[in-house]
């Protein structure tokens, strides 16, 4: 699954709202934690996830390949414990 917000509405809290809805759905489904991966070169997404309480638990070197043959980008593996409502 990919979480994305269009460039025309970035910075308006939509990413945080989408992420919180995912957290709610996961909790309602019985999940105790969520994990995700994010490109190491995506500071906006990294900030969003850090603000939501995600912590880095792993690294996948060269995980994201460039379509044009450029350098591969690492993926950061993140985890967040979900508290009960």
Predicted TM-score (pTM) of the model is: 0.87
- The sheet carrying 55-64 orders its strands as 33-39, 73-81, 55-64
pLDDT in tens, 14-27: 999 999 999 999 99
Tokens for 43? 């500071």
Helices (H) and strands (E) counted in the chain, each on its own, are 2, 3
| Mean pLDDT calculated for residue range 19-39 | 95
Q: For position 85, what pLDDT does the model report?
A: 61
Q: Is a pLDDT exceeding 80 seen at residue 1?
A: no
Give residue limits of the domains in the chain. Answer: 35-85
């Amino acid at each position: 699954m990919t979480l994305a917000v269009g460039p025309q509405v970035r910075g308006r809290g939509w990413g945080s709202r989408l992420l919180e809805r995912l957290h709610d759905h996961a909790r309602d489904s019985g999940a105790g934690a969520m994990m995700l991966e994010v490109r190491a070169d995506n500071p906006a997404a990294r900030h969003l996830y850090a603000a939501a309480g995600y912590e880095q638990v792993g690294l996948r070197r060269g995980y994201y390949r460039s379509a044009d043959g450029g350098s591969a980008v690492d993926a950061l593996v993140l985890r967040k414990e979900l508290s009960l409502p």
